[in-house]
Amino acid sequence: MRLIIAEKPSLARAIAEALPGGARREDGALHAGETVVTWCLGHLLEQAPPDAYDPAFKQWRLDHLPILPTRWQLSPRPKARGQLAVIRKLLKQAREVVHAGDPDREGQLLVQEVIEYLGWKGPVSRLLVSDLNRPAVQRALARLEDNACFQPLYRAAESRSRADWLYGINLTRAWTLTGRQAGHDGVLSVGRVQTPVLGLVVRRDAEIRDFKPYPFHVLWADLAVAGGQLRAWWQPGENHRLDEQGRLLERAPAEALAAQLPGTEGKLTSLESRQKRQSAPLPYSLSALQVDAARRFGLSAQAVLDICQRLYERHKLITYPRSDCRYLPEEHLAQARSTLESACGSDDTLRGWLAGADFSLRSKAWDDKKVGAHHALAPTGKPAELERLERAEADVYRLIARNVLAQFYPPLVVCEVKAEFTLQGECFRAGGQEMLQPGWKPLFTTREEAPPLPPLTEGEGCRVTACEVEDRETRSPEAFTDASLIKAMMNIARYVDDPVVRRTLREHDGLGTEATRAGIIETLIERGYLVRQKKSLRATRLGTGLIASLPEAASRPERTALWEQRLTAIAERDDDPAPFLASLIEDLHGLLGSADANRLRQAMATAQGEAAAAVSKRRGAVGKSRRGRGATGRTRRKQRTKA
């Protein structure tokens, strides 16, 4: 008997349906001739708790820390024993086993740890399924690989699991026990990913709270030129008081110049015209989709992940969704036309986009060298009856299909024009762009980014028809949203201060994984560290106090991003996991030594005071705004501009 072990029941059903002769269900498995397909229910096993290593560890005590297992153990999850018994029984009858976990690091771990836990010593093949439709599964079944080729991926996943246990168990116990000494009754959870994510939000909230706006001033002039009208902006020189972004901090120079401008004639002294070609955005990874869906439809990251899972498992409309890749296999290009015609034919919007596609084009999205264990999200080709889907499901599906269809549109071509005028001896600049070829752009928006300038010739004259000084004010950074926080987790190097580490992380960017980022946000909310205020994510007093009480290294992204770099080296280059875990244990000793009840008590008190001050500041701003709306005297136009 050949036994196929799938990661979850939906994948097992898809595999069984692709086998010849059909399958019958019996005792937690699907039987199809000489092949039996069974399944896990997500992780059937988990790292054993501390008291499995020593019963004394059931009681939380600081003098037990750090807890460092010498022989790692796994334990069945509470609801997994029945399915584990099914797999154990089937393994005794099997002559070969096929590992059918999802095509990623965690999928490799999830099934292989079960196979090894149950003591199987025979041959194991690897089945990689990223599309649950029958033809795709049949193709995957026809090209099984040796599971031994995936041992580095397994070791990386196993190392990640053990490292997370070491880090989370020890630091959570240390800070919870210290918290009790400081008067906090409850668990203070610390994790290698969730805590740096919380740190991002806490630091952003502090920037917003401590931000002090200041005014600056701009001067524009409307100019009549031979070809029409345009607006140009004064570029004050260094002889004026400017901030670091070149903004004018004193109004008087702008007023003095504005008084001289009406009716003044000047000259176009510099004209630069450049044609730019821009290829279509690549197909989506999960995180890129979560960012766009949050901005367009207000969906949380977790909602987008849940929708994608339904589109993949229940509706079978998209390929494997938990992907960090934005490229597609080159072999998919030959079937792209038939796949998209089938996938998009029943929806008016998709049908309109499909009609404009040119399937003779080939974009950079088709690249085997950039496709790893899985590829970008794409339609499977199953006809999509979008009227039968929930509205959010249909919205997300259209985004996924659109980004693949866009690969068969020509590039966007624009002509960017930059003009400099001299008026009263001062420099004024104007800019605009003209769309020469819309290409893929109409699939994404009908709005032009910048209006074109009228026809211009270098050296031609101009005349000022109007001018005005505008008073503006710097604006604080914006609070994180689901979209911006996911994007920050994807591009974490931007939040790293050390230039050497930052350069390294650009090659290995990412805090968390495609599969975990949405869950991290929800976990922080459930544990009371974050709260949603409309679309914004803000840190609570508890979250702010926890970050203030931790060593800075525990709440910054450098450590966990470098972890991912080490894990990638284990997975891709077969590096030895032992030095990685040894380095972590060394770090743990230092981190545990910094747990301090007085520091935690002070951090919580400070966080409470800051929260009260922030509420008072917001109330004051609201009151000021209401009084301003009721005023009847002279008003000055103020436009808030991001600092």
Q: Which of 154, 320, 327, 529 is catalytic?
A: 320
pLDDT tens-digit map of 318-365: 998 988 899 999 989 999 999 999 999 889 999 999 999 999 999 999
Rounded Cα–Cα distance for residues 35 and 94 (Å): 9
Among 49, 77, 76, 78, CA closest to 64? 49
pLDDT at 412 over 70: yes
Return the pLDDT at 614. Answer: 62
Burial of 186 (0-12, 13-18, 19+ CB in 10 A): exposed
| Average pLDDT of the chain, as a whole number | 90
pLDDT beyond 80 at 582: yes
Q: Strand 124-126: give its sheet, edge to edge.
A: 24-25, 29-32, 35-39, 2-6, 96-100, 124-126, 145-146
**pLDDT (0 to 100) of residue 131:** 80
pLDDT at 613: 63
pLDDT confidence band for 164 (50 / 70 / 90): very high
Residue in this structure with the two tokens 């990689």, named with its chain if needed: 128
Go through the domains of the chain in sequence order and give each one's CATH number.
Answer: 2-44+80-143 (3.40.50.140), 159-210+493-617 (1.10.460.10), 215-279+412-475 (2.70.20.10), 299-408 (1.10.290.10)
Q: Report the share of the chain in percent with pLDDT over 70.
A: 93
Mean pLDDT of 137-160: 94
Q: What is the DSSP string of 63-101?
A: GGPSP--SS--EEE-TT-HHHHHHHHHHHHH-SEEEEE-
State the pTM of this model. Answer: 0.85
> What b/e sequence results for 557-596 when a residue is b if at least 16 CB atoms lie within 10 Å of its CB, and e otherwise?
bbbbbbbbbbbbbbbeeebebeebbeebeeebeebbeebe
The pLDDT of residue 616 is 62
When pLDDT is averaged across residues 278-296 and rounded to a whole number, the result is: 96
* pLDDT for the residue 634: 35
- To which residue do tokens 């799938």 refer? 6
Task: Determine the pLDDT at residue 640.
Answer: 36
What pLDDT shows up at residue 636? 37
Confidence class for position 631, pLDDT limits 50, 70, 90: very low
Q: How far apart are CA 48 and CA 317, in angstroms?
A: 38
Annotation marks residue 320 as catalytic = yes
Tell me what pLDDT residue 496 has.
83
Residue 628 has pLDDT above 60, yes or no: no
Q: Which tens digits make up the pLDDT trace of 187-210?
A: 999 999 999 999 999 999 999 999
Q: Over range 128-140, report the average pLDDT.
A: 87
Q: What is the pLDDT of residue 568?
A: 85
Average pLDDT, integer, range 83-91: 96
Residues found in the chain: 643
